[in-house]
Chain A
Amino acid sequence: MNEESVDLTEKVSPNTVLVLKNVKKYFPVKRGILDVLLRKPVLYVKAVDGVSFCVETGEVFCLVGESGCGKTTTGRLITRLIKLTSGRILYKPKEETLEIAKAQGLNIDDRGFLDISFVKGPTDKALRRDIQMIFQDPYGSLDPRQTVYSALEEPLLIHKIGSSRNERYELVVKALEEVKLVPPEEFLGRFPHMLSGGQRQRVNIARALILRPKLIVADEPVSMLDVSIRAEILQLMLDLKESRRLTYIFITHDLAVASYICNKIAVMYLGKIVELGETRKVIDNPYHPYTKALIAAVPEPDPSNRFRIREVPIIGEVPSAVAIPSGCRFHTRCLYAMDICKRKEPPFIEVEPDHYVACWLHMKK
């Protein structure tokens, strides 16, 4: 990173709940035995290649980008389903998790943040009650052999919440009511294949919320749902955010959905954030050529579209994450690529209040 870059992680406020500092995740490419013998160098898929940002409590923070940009991997890093290669993830946990962390002897910094990158033991389990995930595939995220009740009871059993069956039953019923699956009794005994897509996703949301987390990572939660119910689920998520004081990290490739629900957008390309800022600012006034291309590519329901070619200011296809282009990684597809773009990585600068871009075109400031 360039020393002229803005270090977003400096912008931590008392309201900040999550900080990612230069997080990287490299996946080694499997080598055959011949490669090992010939001493070929190990190749890495650089899925996430230095991502930094802060998330405020109550915010809906969007990670937007096409497939392969690293947004899903970032989400999984935050929920600790995979371990990061380098960098740090700092999180401000709930009171009870804080206690457990302290009891385990873990270091809490003076602002109340815990480094959750490599946590083990009781804190690891406690963090499951703090950060939860909603997955993309409503059907695939439910065990087809479990009833709704069983699926919702499972987190309670794992974390020993609720001392009797009756208590757990009550908690499950309440969870279903919260996601508006009413009457709850009608859904308790159903298997996933007896539910519609929207209903399944509600169950997933209920399951994520039943442990009362503070932070939810939602990975394309409405992409596999019918258009007519997406808004319903999105509204539900917003309502729950208010009632439960949640913070969302919302991952999506659909810019239109992002513009509807998110407060802040981070546009990712090949493992890095290329533009970040308040949603309206980024959508209405994009700076980065990639963002501009993405916005140009999104169709609107306008019947006159068919009479004109949709101009998308971008060249070619996404390069492989194993062989990331030098300098600005977008330069191979950028219409405005300059010499410097091929040589040096652009720094991350503030072009407007609360609007950041990593692009040589805007360095004049």
Chain B
Amino acid sequence: MPLLEVKNLKTYFFTVRGIVRAVDNVSLSIGEGEVLGLAGESGCGKSTLGYSIMRLVPPPGRIVDGKIIFDGNDITRMSEHELRSKVRWKGISMVFQGAMNALNPVYTVGHQVAEPLIVHKGLTKHEALEHVKEALKMVGLSPEIVRRYPHELSGGMKQRVVIAMAIILRPKLIIADEPTTALDVVIQAQIMNLFKKLKRELKSSMIFITHDLSLLSELSDKIAIMYAGKIVEIGPSENVYTDPKHPYTQGLLRSIPRLHGKEKITWIPGVPPDLRRPPPGCRFHPRCPYAMDICKKEEPPFIEIDPGRFVACWLCVKR
């Protein structure tokens, strides 16, 4: 049984200027120890999807439909209290975008990393200290920094602290939302190496959210591509990278500049749609080089073209 199953999830934002359908009928599943890379450009809904799984969608947004089944329990039906005591941080933890800037400047590193232990497991600060030092070592930091304050650390070190906080309760699923975006490329490589190590040692599953497809290949077993609130393609990394089926995935891969590649890179013309008024039919059709008539009228079904490989595109529907 998969660790996480998202079924037909819909998260909408009810704003003054209309309803933004940020996550519109998304389904996916993650097995134990599996890393899902969630890719997409700005405004596609990937961050909202991550927040929805944690049930942390900020108002005016809320989950309007669908199910999220984590470790056998439907967390969309759980009360806040249950979520807080059973799921959040213990079952699923999160590394937020720009989290290193969200470390509390008035508390020491040790205090902040220990906090989940104190709150969830009821340990005292003294008991927690050992666990904290272990977590810090695991993320490649010297245990002495328990006494340091966030402003004394560099960007990379702060991000490691945040990761230490996320793993301290040994959750089964970690959601990382653009964890390396603000970091330099060398530090980014080191953090990715850290994630690889944690994946091996902790065997936790992960949802890695980023727009950088190259980065995702460093870690993901499965790739899901999101566009305009929907998943357009999902499948094992090998397949998606080498044989992308959806025109959007193809366009994305072709637009990545390579260090050593000689081909000219291309782009996808047009702009992503306004999620308040998405185009009819397939949402990608205005920008798709292969758009057919049916694409403009009907939304393509999300079909399994191979075991574990799903695409939402009329091109892949035979008949």
Contacts and interface: CB of A to CB of B under 8 A. Distances in A.
Contact of A228 (B184, B196, B251): B251
Contact of B185 (A66, A198, A231, A283): A66
Given A227-B213, A231-B266, A303-B237, A256 B42 contact: no
Nearest to A290: B186
B238 A303 contact: yes
Contacts of B189: 296-297, 299, 310, 312
Interface string B220-248: 11000000000000000110111000000
A317 B259 CA distance: 24
Given A229-B268, A231-B257, A309-B196, A301 B213 contact: yes
A306 B186 contact: no
Contact of B188 (A235, A283, A284, A297): A297
Interface string B137-161: 0000000000000000010110000
A228 B259 contact: no
A119 interface: no
B99 interface: no
B255 interface: yes
A257 interface: yes
A295 B259 CA distance: 8
A299 B256 CA distance: 11
B81 interface: no
Contact of A227 (B154, B241, B242, B256): B256
A228 B257 CA distance: 10
Interface in A272-321: 283-284, 293-303, 305-306, 309-310, 312, 314, 317-318
A256 B242 contact: no
B255 A255 contact: no
Given A305-B217, A309-B193, A227 B211 contact: yes
A67 interface: yes
B220 A306 contact: yes
B257 A260 contact: yes
B91 interface: no
A306 B221 contact: yes
Contacts of B184: 66-67, 253, 318
A290 B271 CA distance: 38
A226 interface: yes
Nearest to A68: B184
A230 B190 contact: no
Nearest to B195: A306
Contact of A293 (B154, B186, B259): B186
A197 interface: yes
Contact of B217 (A260, A284, A300): A300
B186 A198 contact: no
B218 A306 contact: yes
A301 B188 contact: no
Contacts of B251: 228
Contacts of A256: 214, 256-259
B259 A283 contact: yes
B226 to A, nearest CB: 12
Contacts of B68: none
Interface in B39-70: 41-42
Interface in A197-231: 197-199, 226-231
A188 to B, nearest CB: 18
B241 A255 contact: no
A196 B196 CA distance: 35
Interface in A259-281: 259-260
Contacts of A309: 193, 196-197
A354 interface: no
B212 interface: yes
B308 interface: no
A167 interface: no
B219 interface: yes
B269 interface: yes
B90 to A, nearest CB: 26
B253 A197 contact: no
B257 A294 contact: no
A297 B267 contact: no
22 contacts: A66-B184, A197-B42, A198-B271, A226-B42, A227-B41, A229-B255, A229-B267, A231-B255, A231-B266, A253-B184, A254-B257, A256-B256, A259-B259, A295-B259, A298-B214, A301-B241, A303-B217, A303-B220, A305-B219, A310-B189, A312-B189, A318-B184
Given A256-B258, A310-B218, 13 more contacts: A66-B184, A227-B211, A228-B41, A228-B252, A228-B255, A231-B265, A295-B259, A297-B188, A298-B185, A299-B192, A301-B214, A303-B238, A303-B241
Interface of B: 35, 41-42, 154, 156-157, 184-190, 192-193, 196-197, 211-221, 237-238, 240-242, 251-253, 255-260, 265-269, 271-272
User: 3 closest A-B pairs (Cβ-Cβ)?
Assistant: A303-B237, A66-B184, A226-B41
